[in-house]
Amino acid sequence: MKLIPLITAVLVTLLLYFLVIERETLLAFARGEGAEDIAQSAPAETDAESTDQSGADELLAENRIGVVALHSQAQVFDRAVILRGMTQAVREVDLRAETSSTVISEPLRKGVQVQKGDVLCRLDPGTRPAALLEAQARLTEARANMPVSEARLDEANAKLSEAIIKLTASEKLSQGGYTSETNLAASKAAERSAVAGVASAKGGLETAKAGIESAIAAVGAAQKEIERLTIVAPFDGLLESDSAEIGSLVLPGDHCATVIQLDTIKVVGFVPETQVNRVSLGSPAQAELATGAQIQGIVSFVSRSADQATRTFEVEITVANPDLAIRDGQTADIAIAAQGATAHKLPQSALTLNKDGQLGVRLVNADQTAGFAAVELLRDEADGIWVAGLPEQADVIVTGQDFVTSGVAVAPSYLNEATQ
């Protein structure tokens, strides 16, 4: 009973041997062929092996992953410095009162075009004209006293000269014994009195001069006070606020009106410290306002001191605005021209990440395998992105890049060839 399973196993083993190892011999025996026929079939087996190899190559080709690629050529790229900022009036001033009085002029309404020198606020003069007349009268009086002081000085100088002559004569006579000591002493006293008279006359003259200077200062102060009664526009511009209402009392520092100049306007932005060296004075720049309007200008100011909070540097662009179409305070996207470079413009979908999380793109290598290249994102536009870090010519995978890794065989089809 136990021999039957053993015999069955031996027979199955022999059958499998002939079916797998000696299959060709078994088939030839079944067809009635001899050993010579089997020997002649050897070259046919070699051809079969070649056919099998070709089939393997075809299988490898079939196993390649299909991707869509783009023949990309590096282009000259204007690496403009992109900022966001706002427009500012080139001039804006708040006009305020410098004295106390009541407004006596009719107010001007905001939005009115004013010229340099136009009266914006006129104040009640009060007693100021009378104070000016008084100061002028004191000046006239001080000037009239000047000749009197000069005459007194001349008289004192004449008396001093006479006293010196008499003293000299008395000293000579005293030496010869022809005059008394009393006369000599009197001559000396007269000379000292004349000297004191000259000093007094000089003091009077200086006092007269000081009186004139004081009177001139009083006249100037009175005139200045009258000038402060009229507040005028310092330059051509627009009235941004109503001027002070008639009858209102204004004190020093109170607001009269605000004037802005818009025929030339500034676009102000802040550039990061990493890009400030790429911005220079006189560089052309353009900006797009929130309304969609495009404006051009030049860089007129680059700050040398960074903002302590944001570590950015202020940049001003001067723009002509003769028709006043640009308003103060509008948001603007600014592009400042900088030194150009070469870069590739690719679809945004071409970007991917490698296993290390590095941003880049997948490439088709010369051996039809996938590769990876890290890139630097330069600018994001509506129809694509500008990247740096690729060779002058590159076959960039734009579809299917997320399904392959470096070294994987690919079967690319190219957008450039499909569109031609």
Per-residue pLDDT tens digits of the chain, which is 420 residues long: 466 777 777 777 777 666 666 666 666 655 655 544 544 544 444 454 455 455 444 544 557 888 999 999 988 776 778 899 999 999 999 999 999 999 999 999 998 999 999 999 999 999 999 999 999 999 998 888 888 888 888 888 888 888 888 878 887 777 777 667 777 788 788 888 888 888 888 888 888 888 899 999 999 999 999 999 999 999 999 999 999 999 999 999 999 999 999 999 999 999 999 888 889 899 999 999 999 999 999 999 999 999 999 999 999 999 999 998 999 999 999 999 877 678 899 998 899 998 888 999 999 998 999 999 999 887 788 888 888 889 999 999 999 888 888 889 999 999 866 443
Domains and CATH numbers, the chain: 3-64 (no CATH), 67-76+341-419 (2.40.420.20), 128-227 (1.10.287.620), 258-336 (2.40.30.170)
What's the chain's length in residues? Answer: 420
HSE at residue 306, side-chain half, CA atoms within 13 A, is: 12
Any idea what DSSP says for residue 277?
Answer: G
**CA dihedral (245, 246, 247, 252) positive or negative:** positive
Task: Cite the beta strand spans of 4-63 per DSSP E.
Answer: none
Q: What b-and-e string marks burial along 351-362, b requiring 16 or more CB atoms within 10 Å of the CB?
A: beeeeeeeebbb
d(CA 270, CA 218): 51
- Its pTM stands at 0.55
Cα angle vertex 149, ends 145, 150, to 5°? 115
